[in-house]
Chain A
Amino acid sequence: MKYGSNAAACVTLRPRGVCLFLALGLLYGATAKADATPREVIEQTADAVLAVLQDSTLTGEQKRQRIEDIASTRFDFDTVAKLVLARNWRQLSPEQQTRFKEEFRKHLSLTYGRNVDQYNNERAEVTGERPEAGGDWTVKTRIVRPQGGEPIRVDYRLRKFGEQWKVIDVIIEGTSLVANFRSQFQEIVSREGPEKLIQLLQEKNARGEPLGQGAGSKS
């Protein structure tokens, strides 16, 4: 492990904006080879995403679009949606399940997709992998920021669907996104029912929540 001059930033909380985006962005990408190992899946995708991000001929919107179009090839959104709702999943009618999946997916895409403009030459590298119980696989990566600061650890949990490994959770610095959303949604569903959750997601998506002007920093 090589450190730069400004190595090892020491903050309790670290900027996660760009990282979250890269973490998810990593998954969006090029053609999926049918029999790729989980590690290869992540590596290929990382390369493909960086290619899109570094392509100066594309506008931010085009990058976002490209990312959106291929997101589904790397994520298994069905599984993510089921994991996020956990035991509440069965409370939803099939029609509600479909709407929930659509809105949740949109939410992820809106939230993280707009970070394309914040890309600042970060690189992703695979640092390890391990099998998980139940046949899943975890690929460990870290995002290195050339402008200094500690690398950000991002783990991907993959599951095999037919011949293809797909990502079912992203764990950033040890914090599982599925767990985080599950906690939020559990609260809403148990208090106000699944319809309320879908409605909240819809409202949030409709607002689109554009990036605040002048917000943010130099990163």
Chain B
Amino acid sequence: MRPAFPLGGVARIGCVACLWFAVHICLGRGAALGQEYDPWQPFNRAMFAFNDALDTYALEPVAKAWDRIVPERVEQSIANLFQNVYTPIVAVNNLLQGKPRDAAEDVARFMANSTFGLVGLFDVASCWGLAKHDEDFGQTLAVWGVPAGPYLVLPFVGPSSPRDVVGYAVDSIATVYWFFADIRFTVGPQTIQVVNSRAQVLDAVRELKSASVDYYAAVRNAYVQRRARQIRDQQEGTGPDEDFYRIEE
């Protein structure tokens, strides 16, 4: 999900925020699985509650209505479309991470899906064996050795970290430049994307809510685990470290 982002403000707030974050990142330390580094928890919990309320009273009802009207396959096609638009950014990030082969594959995917896939509505590239990659600038920064810093929940955006905020801002700006489009023209599509994405995870979110004793901590952990696995490109063997499964009697 990549919701709308007011760009002018981001640049300014970003600079101040970066400084502030930099200090905290220096103080930060790697968090063992199951105990994320979360020194800003009071702020985060407040933001989380705000986002959750926003979701419960605005986004989820809209997404439910959308989900009732729009068939599942159409939802998928809309998701494909946005995914396709974002593919050039994935390619650039793959290049920046030193993976030219993956980047080339992304370019091929983009060309295939934009033409034969009808501007991306259908992911024909995957059917032809061109693998999809999941990259963003936050991951690129991680590959370059930038630590995530503390867990951070942003209003409207959700779970993040100082590193991912920077990555997110860079990706968002790059996406807009790619479009050569004014923010006024991207708000509509982005709203559709947010609603559509939310509609696709109605069950999953409900499930996570009911399955967790502490919803905040469950989401935080899921986010941290997900980012870790995206950064290592889904490779095996680097999951939870071995002490994780040791039982001390």
Which A residues contact B (CB, under 8 angstroms)? 3, 5-18, 20, 79, 82-83, 86-87, 89-90, 107, 111-112, 115, 118, 130, 132-134, 136, 138, 140, 147-149, 157, 168-169, 171, 173-176, 178-188, 197, 200-201, 204, 209, 212, 215-219
**Would you list 17 pairs from A and B whose C-beta atoms are within 8 A, ordered by A residue?**
A9-B76, A9-B79, A9-B80, A10-B79, A11-B83, A11-B200, A111-B211, A173-B229, A175-B222, A175-B229, A176-B239, A179-B34, A180-B221, A184-B213, A185-B213, A186-B35, A217-B64
Chain A nearest Cβ from B223, distance in angstroms: 10
Bound Cα distance A133, B200 (Å): 37
Known: A3-B126, A9-B79, A184-B212. A15 touches B200 (CB 8 A): yes
Interface pair B126/A133, CB less than 8 Å apart = no
Contact among B36, B72, B76, B132 for A183, CB-based, below 8 A: B36
Bound Cα distance A218, B75 (Å): 12
Question: 6 shortest A-B CB distances, which residue pairs?
Answer: A8-B126, A182-B34, A17-B203, A183-B221, A174-B229, A10-B83
Interface pair A87/B203, CB less than 8 Å apart = no
B residues 7-41 with Cβ under 8 Å of A? 33-36
By CB atoms of chain B within 10 A, which of A18, A87, A218 has the most? A218
- Is B180 close to A, CB under 8 A? no
Q: Which residues of chain B have C-beta atoms less than 8 A from A176's C-beta?
A: 33, 225, 239-240
Q: Which residues of chain A have C-beta atoms less than 8 A from B248's C-beta?
A: 87, 89-90
By CB atoms of chain A within 10 A, which of B80, B220, B240 has the most? B240
A-B pair count, CB < 8 Å, reads 169
Q: Which residues of chain B have C-beta atoms less than 8 A from A180's C-beta?
A: 212, 218, 221-222, 225
Bound Cα distance A176, B244 (Å): 11
Chain A nearest Cβ from B189, distance in angstroms: 16
Interface pair A188/B213, CB less than 8 Å apart = yes
Interface pair B221/A179, CB less than 8 Å apart = yes
Chain B nearest Cβ from A136, distance in angstroms: 6
- Is B236 close to A, CB under 8 A? yes
**Which of chain A's residues has its CB closest to B210's CB?**
A209
Known: A149-B76, A179-B225. A216 touches B240 (CB 8 A): no
Contact among B35, B36, B200, B226 for A175, CB-based, below 8 A: B226
Interface pair B217/A187, CB less than 8 Å apart = yes
Known: A8-B123, A10-B123. A217 touches B245 (CB 8 A): no
Q: Which residues of chain A have C-beta atoms less than 8 A from B83's C-beta?
A: 10-11
Known: A148-B76, A183-B34, A204-B213. A174 touches B225 (CB 8 A): yes
Bound Cα distance A187, B212 (Å): 13
B residues 192-212 with Cβ under 8 Å of A? 197, 199-204, 206-208, 210-212
**Which of chain A's residues has its CB closest to B248's CB?**
A87
- Is B67 close to A, CB under 8 A? yes
Interface pair B213/A111, CB less than 8 Å apart = no
Interface pair B197/A14, CB less than 8 Å apart = no
Q: Which residues of chain B have C-beta atoms less than 8 A from A209's C-beta?
A: 210
Interface pair B236/A219, CB less than 8 Å apart = no
**Which of chain B's residues has its CB closest to A201's CB?**
B213
**Which of chain A's residues has its CB closest to B113's CB?**
A10
Chain A nearest Cβ from B191, distance in angstroms: 17
**Which of chain B's residues has its CB closest to A87's CB?**
B248
Q: Which residues of chain B have C-beta atoms less than 8 A from A188's C-beta?
A: 213-214
Q: Which residues of chain B have C-beta atoms less than 8 A from A15's C-beta?
A: 200-204
Q: Given contact pairs A3-B126, A197-B213, A217-B202, enumerate 20 new A-B contacts (beta carbons under 8 Å).
A: A6-B76, A8-B127, A11-B79, A16-B208, A83-B247, A89-B248, A107-B213, A112-B211, A134-B242, A138-B236, A147-B72, A148-B73, A182-B35, A183-B35, A184-B213, A185-B213, A215-B206, A217-B64, A217-B72, A218-B67
Known: A20-B207, A174-B226. A13 touches B212 (CB 8 A): no
By CB atoms of chain A within 10 A, which of B36, B83, B127, B210 has the most? B210
Chain B nearest Cβ from A134, distance in angstroms: 6
Taken residue by residue from 226 to 249, chain B's Cβ proximity to chain A (1 for < 8 Å, 0 otherwise) reads as: 100100001011011010111110
Bound Cα distance A166, B63 (Å): 40
